[in-house]
Structure 1
Amino acid sequence: MVLPIEVNEDEQTPIYHQIEEQVKALIVSGYLPADTALPSIRALAGNLGCSVITTRRAYQNLEQQDYIKTYRGKGTFVREVTREKRSILKEQAVQDALRQAVKTARQHEYTDTEIQRLLNIVLREEK
């Protein structure tokens, strides 16, 4: 299985964190349902063109957060995410993205009113 994940080496965010967040989003969105087998650490590293150490760290973090489970000799699989947790995580992800957008706007010295105007433009464009 090839996961629809892209890493950007130019971002300040570490690659392992980019992988972690994208896998988490795929799980929370339902794209990767419970019990789905994930690519091995080596296969994912090869697909993304990054090191095995990087993908191992992402998988370890995801396992610590109960998104995935690794079974020795069988592979790594998606764990069940409750509907309530899924709802909370989706909202958190959108809030994080909006926080980043507001931070960027404030760095460019936009007022709250101007930020709201820009958000309304984006919302109309995305209909």
Structure 2
Amino acid sequence: MKILLSNKSDLPIYEQIKSQIKEQILTGSIAENEFLPSIRQLAKDLGISVITTTRAYSDLESEGFIATLRGKGSYVLPKDAEMVKEQYLKKIEEAFTIAMENGKAANISNDELMLILKTLMNE
């Protein structure tokens, strides 16, 4: 598992950890049922507080990506197709929002934005 942290990111460190682990789970880089490093080990490897890694793991667990077994650690849950779809829909919505904001800033009409999308979809 590879985690890269950036002090220049707008995201808090726990959110950077969570999003990178989530992405690796969704892409299959971290396999279903694979155990993650312990909270303490990940904190040590990244040079951060145990509280920060605990928050990231807790969020991943509440979102249904991992489960924790007392005394054994945290592991990746089998992917739920609906959950995977929902995560990608969220990313698409975020990308569309950015595109619309950029379009508005550049004085590009909604019709022009739709034409761009349709053109990209046909390529």
Q: Do they fold alike, i.e. is TM over 0.5?
A: yes
Higher RCO, 1 or 2 (CA under 8 Å, sep at least 6)? Answer: 1
Aligned to 2:86: 88
Structure 2: state its 5+ residue gaps.
none
Contact map agreement 1:28 1:90 (CA 8 A) in 2: no
Unaligned runs of 5+ in 1: none
Tell me the percent identity: 35
TM-score, normalised via structure 1 length: 0.74
What is the TM-score when the length of structure 2 is the normalising length?
0.76
Alpha-carbon shift at residue 89 of structure 1 (Å): 1.1
Work out which of the residue numbers 65, 73, 76 in structure 2 matches 1:75.
73
The equivalent of 1:65 in structure 2 is 63
Instruction: Measure how far apart 1:101 and its partner are.
Output: 5.5
Distance 1:98 1:50 in 2: 34
Match of 2:106 among 110, 120, 124: 110
SS at match of 2:29: coil
Q: Provide Cα deviations, 1:28-56, integer angstroms capped at 9, x if missing partner.
A: 22222210110111121122222111110
Alpha-carbon RMSD: 2.5
Rg (Cα) greater in structure: 2
Q: Report the count of equivalent residues.
A: 115
